A and B are shown apart, each in its own frame.
Chain A
């Protein structure tokens, strides 16, 4: 069914943006041409498909049912196990989701595809893979306090996806909102890797470090470190709240 749905969704997206561009006096909106805008949505959705994480729902389920006890008995950290499971799961998704979506897009809408920077993009996606894992694990850990977090997790996921630039590139938001997003790690999940792909950052250091591609990569590393430390602190406190009763 995805074979029909995915091209249809892009078809609608192309119609919407084509209507907007044809009514605009300029060929560029917020620095994006029509092709780069459509490519933005393609690449960001592929990145999100690759880094998609279910750890929050899984952890909530284990805590709610009391099955988390089993993991405490095992000589292996749940945090590490979850990450390894994610690697296995999402590697498979590259074959069954990412590549087919890309091929379908190229088959139907090739003229809207912009070839971009692959090397730094790949590195950035790998960093975003780790960042998203820590973020969703932290969301899942809320279940140690609240038990039932399904709706809260939906709400938070929406906020994350919005500020990650999955629905709209975040540089199109008004400056106040954009500045707020800059304090959050979420744009480093999809917006930054996609911007790197679209060549918004230069690999040349002569224009300055901050405008080079190395700067967002460095920020990604810093977020990984910060979120790792936060995860360890919260995890150690959260585990103590687990009663093992379940329901």
Chain B
């Protein structure tokens, strides 16, 4: 385990060092990555500037939800979501063999190779946004905060399962980069409170495709509202990860090394 963590850190540092070769461009890229994610908060600000906003939610509560979303998304994109993009490049060139011959679990190696140095900005920006929002929300309890953090970890797990499914999809259908659009479309749901969605959508995105575990559920937990949703979504995430791992390892057996 320790050697795996060391390897991951080493690989992350190599990616950052590589980007630092053009540091001016890298820093602008970091800023761009964060700023591009501000569409949601700007949109929310405009909504609250012109109207009472969403029923039962103050502006800072929605901002916290979006900050949490950005934190979880940023961490996931930085750490492992790059396997989706990396699958595409590697398979087009028929280079996955290089991952397979290494003396480590191929999924772990693939994750190490896919570290995204630019998405660190999303992660840090998300943390700052969450912190800023929390400072404006009265009565945040420590227990609520801890439950919220646990829910966020499951949110990372949800993104991990998506990464596995999308990567597997690309293994089968090379050059399917529109999966990123699907990912962004799913992510769009998680940027807003569950209460605004119709009941069927609420159930779908809590139990089947639990995007609400990324931010809506953690945010509510931080306000002190913990309900059964957290358990339902957590179980769903565990099932999705198990299915994702099974799918990914089954799919790589079909890798032909021919490129595409």
Please indicate the chain B residues that have their CB under 8 angstroms from the CB of A25 in the complex: 52
Contact of B39 among A5, A8, A24, A167 (CB under 8 A): A167
Q: Does A115 contact B (CB under 8 A)?
A: no
Taking the closest CB of chain A, its distance from the CB of B198, in whole angstroms, is 7
Q: Is the interface of A mostly helix, strand, loop or mixed?
A: helix
Taking the closest CB of chain B, its distance from the CB of A18, in whole angstroms, is 8
Instruction: Tell me if A1 and B35 are in contact (CB < 8 A).
Output: no
Complex Cα spacing A216 to B47, Å: 26
A residues with a Cβ closer than 8 A to B are 1-2, 4-5, 8-9, 12, 15-16, 18-25, 29-30, 148, 150-152, 154-155, 158, 162, 167-168, 172-174
Contact of B185 among A5, A21, A172 (CB under 8 A): A5
Instruction: Tell me if A24 and B52 are in contact (CB < 8 A).
Output: yes
Please indicate the chain B residues that have their CB under 8 angstroms from the CB of A158 in the complex: 32, 35-36
Instruction: Tell me if B32 and A20 are in contact (CB < 8 A).
Output: no
Task: Closest A residue to B177 by CB, please name it.
Answer: A1
Question: Which of B32, B35, B43, B55 has most chain A Cβ within 10 Å?
Answer: B32
Complex Cα spacing A210 to B35, Å: 35
Q: Mark B22-45, 1 if CB is under 8 A from A, else 0.
A: 100110110110011001001100
Instruction: Tell me if B22 and A174 are in contact (CB < 8 A).
Output: no
Task: Closest A residue to B193 by CB, please name it.
Answer: A19
Q: Is the interface of B mostly helix, strand, loop or mixed?
A: helix
Q: How many interface residues does chain B have, given as a range?
A: 20 to 34
Instruction: Tell me if A20 and B47 are in contact (CB < 8 A).
Output: yes
Please indicate the chain B residues that have their CB under 8 angstroms from the CB of A16 in the complex: 192, 196
Please indicate the chain A residues that have their CB under 8 angstroms from the CB of B35 in the complex: 155, 158
Complex Cα spacing A168 to B32, Å: 19
Instruction: Tell me if B43 and A167 are in contact (CB < 8 A).
Output: yes
Write 17 A-B pairs (CB below 8 A) sorted by A numbering. Answer: A1-B178, A1-B181, A2-B181, A5-B181, A9-B188, A15-B196, A15-B197, A20-B51, A20-B53, A24-B51, A151-B25, A154-B29, A154-B32, A155-B35, A167-B42, A167-B43, A168-B46
Complex Cα spacing A5 to B201, Å: 16
Task: Closest B residue to A24 by CB, please name it.
Answer: B51
Instruction: Tell me if B182 and A12 are in contact (CB < 8 A).
Output: no
Please indicate the chain A residues that have their CB under 8 angstroms from the CB of B178 in the complex: 1-2, 5
Instruction: Tell me if B182 and A151 are in contact (CB < 8 A).
Output: no
Complex Cα spacing A168 to B201, Å: 24
Within 8 A of A (CB), among B48-77: 49-55
Q: Does B189 contact A (CB under 8 A)?
A: yes
Q: Mark B142-181, 1 if CB is under 8 A from A, else 0.
A: 0000000000000000000000000000000000001101
Contact of A29 among B31, B50, B54 (CB under 8 A): B50
Known: A12-B189, A152-B28, A168-B46. A19 touches B54 (CB 8 A): yes
Instruction: Tell me if A23 and B182 are in contact (CB < 8 A).
Output: no
Please indicate the chain B residues that have their CB under 8 angstroms from the CB of A174 in the complex: 49
Taking the closest CB of chain B, its distance from the CB of A116, in whole angstroms, is 22
